[in-house]
Amino acid sequence: MPQVLKEFGWYFGSPQNFFMISAGVYGFGLITDNEKVRHTGVLIIASAATSGIIQSISKTAVGRARPKTGNRDEFKPFEGTPGYHSFPSGHAILSFSMAHAISKQFDDFWAKAGIYTVGSIAPISRLWADAHWLSDVGLGIAISIVVVDGVDNFMKKKNAYNYSKPKHISWQLKAGYGTLGFVGTF
């Protein structure tokens, strides 16, 4: 694999770079007053945070050896060393979460294909670098797709609910023994 792709895969799937790019997407949506871009930025960040929690717990609980550390059937649950934090791949989760969230905004097949190709560079580079097994990367991608779709459905449902009902507060004067006040019902 060309060195430039290995480096791109490492940096694109690294959390600090990933969240800077995600914040940039959301910030661009704010600056341009583009609701669709802001939605995409929130979708990327929320999905990555959710899948990151799943990934962190899974890596620690499963304790699967990396290819350079041992064989694919070697497990040391709750081992504190990076050599036993292989399953699932965090780089695959982050890069594919972003790719899937962005590709959901397009209907064109070729645009989606290009976005998924860029999102696949990090998982593939992790395989070539012997940092993960194929099942680590596959589960990372599957988690990404499920979480992004779930967060997107939740966000759309919440937005539909919030915008379909007008915000209305009904005020009533309440008086009782030793009390007097207004009660707002919404």
Q: What is the pLDDT of residues 26-42, one digit of tens each?
A: 999 999 989 899 999 99
One-letter amino acid at 133 equals W
Largest CA distance in the chain: 81
Residue 87 CA, distance from chain mean position: 17
* 170-176 and 179-185 beta bridge pairing: antiparallel
Q: Tell me, what DSSP letter sits at residue 67?
A: T
Angstrom distance (rounded) from CA 64 to CA 18: 24
Q: Tell me, what DSSP letter sits at residue 65?
A: P
> pLDDT tens-digit profile of 92-109?
999 999 999 999 999 999
Measured in degrees and rounded to the nearest 5, phi and psi for residue 179 equal: -135, 150
pTM greater than 0.85 (yes/no): no
> pLDDT tens-digit profile of 143-178?
999 999 999 999 988 765 554 555 677 888 888 887
